[in-house]
Amino acid sequence: MPHVKPRHIVIDTDPGIDDAIGILLALASPEFSIAGITTVAGNIGIDTTTRNAGRLLAFAGQHDIPVFEGAAAPLSRPGPAPLNLHGKDGIGGVALPAPARPPESRPAVEWLADLLLSEPAGSVDIFALGPLTNVARLVLDHPDAAKRIGRIIAMGGVIAEAGNVGPRSEFNLWADPEAADAVVSSGLLLVLVPLDVTRRVRATRDFTAALSASGKPLASMVADLIESYFETSTHQESRPLHDPCVMLFALAPDLFRLENLRLSVGTGPTEEAGALTVDENGAPVQVAMGVDGPAALELLARTLAAF
Ligand code: BDR
Ligand code: CA
């Protein structure tokens, strides 16, 4: 394979079992150089998501990647209760070491703004795996830095099927709809990877067993994480790998079908919060609306097993 210069990325995340899988996939991918991980409250509180980011880096032996703590609550409404789906520790109870170093003292959004201003414009992408509070703060408080982002690839929303927290609402956008609205309407290059796609990248128990059998540490850890995900939903034959789809899209866009849509975000206090509406007056967003699920899973397994 020809050597390709790795792309600078920042992972903004609320780990979270599927966030953890996405982070491990990014660590295993030579296509990415991770400048830092910024954390946000979402699946569970900010102390735990920040600690989980540090634990994952310690497990992978990546002691040079800094973790910056971000928003503890949405822009203007109370945060969600912790999701049982991810277990009491946010990460399914899997055995991970303690962080090898504490989080940095700088607030996540300040660090991100300085990073964007110090790197060439367009050279840093943001992979957003949680509520969009940090990214919205950047857009609102540091517009000159925000406009230097290469692109934002965000897991969030649902377009043509039912939501997972409301009839038309997906968790990440529902948890902070004002932030989602600020990011969607910012004019920045945004690729949204909604439930319509992430529900089609599903790990079965056979897939998980094959990861484990590879004997490779990251693949085995991802198998443990998926197993724990099964434990919170015993009646399911497979589990959707939402957040890793962001990394998979960046690695292999040809596996996805993108549509250019104009979207608006529901910001009402009702169960419509975070709902996306295709709207001719909405903001232009590239939305992944199709995926070759088996090929995406194969890429995930191959990347983890090669590390
Ligand atoms: C999203 O919500 C969270 O529970 C997951 O980590 C993912 O980011 C899926 O709706
Ligand atoms: Ca997440």
DSSP character string of 144-196: HHHTTEEEEEEE---SSS--SSBTTB-HHHHHSHHHHHHHHTT-S-EEEE-HH
Is the CB of residue 145 less than 8 Å from the CB of residue 113? Answer: yes
Closest ligand 1 atom, residue 195 Cα = 10
Torsion angle of C-alpha atoms 264, 268, 270, 276, degrees rounded to 10:
10
Looking at the CA of 274, name the nearest ligand.
1
Does residue 163 lie within any of the structural domains?
yes
Q: How far is the CA of 227 from the centre of ligand 1 (A)?
A: 17
Q: Strand 256-265 vs strand 283-291: parallel, antiparallel, or unpaired?
A: antiparallel
For residue 277, which amino acid is it? T
Q: Phi then psi for 199, rounded to 5 degrees?
A: -70, -10
Distance of alpha carbon 200 from alpha carbon 69, whole angstroms? 31
Is the CB of residue 89 less than 8 Å from the CB of residue 52? Answer: yes
Tens-digit pLDDT profile for the chain (307 aa)? Answer: 456 799 999 999 999 999 999 999 999 999 999 999 999 999 999 999 999 999 999 999 999 999 999 999 999 988 877 777 777 888 989 999 999 999 999 999 999 999 999 999 999 999 999 999 999 999 999 999 999 999 999 999 999 999 999 999 999 999 999 999 999 999 999 999 999 999 999 999 999 999 999 999 999 999 999 999 888 766 788 999 999 999 999 999 999 999 999 999 999 887 899 999 999 999 999 999 999 999 999 999 999 999 8
Looking at the CA of 171, name the nearest ligand.
1
pLDDT at 87: 79
What residue ranges line ligand 1, CB within 6 angstroms?
Answer: 16, 18-19, 43, 83, 129-130, 155, 164, 170-172, 242-243
**Is the alpha carbon torsion for 300, 301, 306, 307 positive or negative?**
positive
pLDDT at 234: 64
Active site residues: 242
Closest ligand 1 atom, residue 130 Cα = 8
Does residue 94 lie within any of the structural domains?
yes
- Residue 117, domain CATH: 3.90.245.10
pLDDT at 29: 98
Is the CB of residue 233 less than 8 Å from the CB of residue 92? Answer: no
Does residue 134 lie within any of the structural domains?
yes
Q: How far is the CA of 294 from the centre of ligand 1 (A)?
A: 21
Q: How far is the CA of 4 from the centre of ligand 1 (A)?
A: 30
Determine the 3-state secondary structure of 200 from DSSP: coil
Does residue 196 lie within any of the structural domains?
yes
Looking at the CA of 242, name the nearest ligand.
1
Is the CB of residue 182 less than 8 Å from the CB of residue 139? Answer: yes
Does residue 283 lie within any of the structural domains?
yes
End-to-end CA distance of the chain: 15
pLDDT at 19: 98
Distance of alpha carbon 32 from alpha carbon 250, whole angstroms? 9
Does residue 1 lie within any of the structural domains?
no
Residue 47, number of CB atoms within 10 A of its CB: 14
Q: How far is the CA of 255 from the centre of ligand 1 (A)?
A: 21
Closest ligand 1 atom, residue 164 Cα = 10
H/E run at residue 264: strand 256-265
The protein residue with its alpha carbon nearest to ligand 1, atom 4, reads 43
Q: Kindly report the length of the chain.
A: 307
Is the CB of residue 177 less than 8 Å from the CB of residue 273? Answer: yes
Distance of alpha carbon 264 from alpha carbon 284, whole angstroms? 9
Using alpha carbons, select from 245, 239, 197 the residue that is nearest to residue 26: 245
pLDDT at 62: 97
Q: Is the pTM of this model over 0.95?
A: yes
User: Domain span at residue 71?
Assistant: 7-305
Domain count for the chain, please give it: 1
Distance of alpha carbon 164 from alpha carbon 227, whole angstroms? 21
Q: 168, 172, 233: which to mutate for ligand 1, most atoms within 8 A of CB? A: 172
Does residue 34 lie within any of the structural domains?
yes
pLDDT at 3: 65
| Side-by-side strand order, sheet with 7-13 | 67-69, 32-39, 7-13, 124-128, 149-155, 190-193, 283-291, 256-265, 276-278
Q: 127, 164, 202, 242: which to mutate for ligand 1, most atoms within 8 A of CB? A: 242
Does residue 2 lie within any of the structural domains?
no
